[in-house]
Amino acid sequence: MKRRLHIPVGWTGIIALLAFAPVSSRGAIPTGPLSYTITDAANCLWDASTVSELKDINASVSRISADINFYVDFTQNGSGKLSGFGLTDVRVASPDISGTLTNAGYRVYGSVSSKNGVTRLQFTAVASTTAFFEGHRARLTATAIRTATVASGYLMTGTYKNRAALSPGGSATASGPLPFTWSDIAPEVGDGSWVLNLDIHNDGAKALTGNASVRLKSGAHYEFYLKGNYNPKTDASRITLSPQPSSKGSTLKLGMVGSNISSLRGRISGQTVNWIPAQ
């Protein structure tokens, strides 16, 4: 004689059935504003345009007894290129010229780059003018070259080279160790940490879109378009940040699990990012 299986009803039966139901491991698709502060010493980001020692230029050359000083301004773009141009006043003290040469043209060029936690700076500023000074025709071209390397632990080394051509006065060069230290510029550049902001929108299934930004300690910021995909089976997302026009040259690729970053790779303003958070 066959017996019928009796299925319990009511709350007791429902609880019994739920106890044996499979549990979904799906997390939540990323959404909304998210912010992350990156403090890893091997992934510092720097903004050279804030360094006053690269703006107040001393291009003096002792060989011809010429003290030469002038001010420049410049920017650092999404590719890490340094550029600037304009007019400046050049203060000169030499046996043949002593005073201020106004409206000298200047230009700045160079770059900031990094790899494996080591950042390199190449910087050149040139000022030149032809003007009448105290009834005489005076010509000046002054060049200041700076190179620097910053390793983990804020260990900075570098060199300077000045070239000056004065008429009257002659021409000569001077070179030596970098004329400023890390402690001189630390208040301006900060500790190298930076903030990644994501504004993620999703379609409720897999597609991710939105905008993002990277903000450096100096206040410099780089803007991005966000696009990616979410995998509900693994709770993992793959996201690409493509530069907006003002940030051309910078890009990032993110791996995420839920709302947590699992990997971050790319380049910001000429500097390599390759970060995997500690587990």
Whether residue 21 is contained in a domain is answered as no
Q: Which residues contact 269 (CB under 8 A, 6 or more apart)?
A: 45, 47, 76, 77, 78, 79, 80, 112, 216, 220, 222, 249, 250
Residues 78 and 31 in one domain: no
What is the pLDDT at residue 1?
44
Indicate the residue among 152, 180, 208 that finishes a domain: 180
Helices (H), 21-136: none
Mean pLDDT of 7-36: 55
Residues 54 and 143 in one domain: yes
- Name the more confident of 272 and 166: 272
Residue-wise pLDDT for 104-135, tens only, equals: 999 999 999 999 889 999 999 999 998 776 67
Residue-wise pLDDT for 191-200, tens only, equals: 999 999 999 9
The model's pTM is 0.85
Residues 204 and 167 in one domain: no
Residues 32 and 71 in one domain: no
Residues 109 and 142 in one domain: yes
Residues 107 and 176 in one domain: yes
Report percent pLDDT > 90 for the chain: 73
Lowest-pLDDT choice from 37-51, 90-104, 191-205, 234-248:
90-104
Whether residue 127 is contained in a domain is answered as yes
Whether residue 65 is contained in a domain is answered as yes
- End-to-end alpha-carbon separation of the chain, Å? 61
Residue-wise pLDDT for 42-81, tens only, equals: 999 999 999 999 999 999 999 888 899 999 999 999 999 9
Indicate the residue among 130, 157, 180 that finishes a domain: 180
Whether residue 3 is contained in a domain is answered as no
Residues 162 and 68 in one domain: yes
Whether residue 14 is contained in a domain is answered as no
Residues 112 and 145 in one domain: yes
Return the SS3 of 56. strand
What is the pLDDT at residue 113?
97
Whether residue 235 is contained in a domain is answered as yes
Whether residue 2 is contained in a domain is answered as no
Residues 151 and 65 in one domain: yes
How far apart are the C-alpha atoms of 111 and 120, rounded to whole Å? 8
Residue 161 belongs to domain spanning: 48-180
Residues 131 and 109 in one domain: yes
Position 4 pLDDT exceeds 60: no
Whether residue 256 is contained in a domain is answered as yes
Residues 40 and 52 in one domain: no
Indicate the residue among 149, 180, 211 that finishes a domain: 180
Number of domains comprising the chain: 2
Position 158 pLDDT exceeds 70: yes
Q: Are strands 136-151 and 81-93 parallel, antiparallel or unpaired?
A: unpaired
Residues 216 and 174 in one domain: no
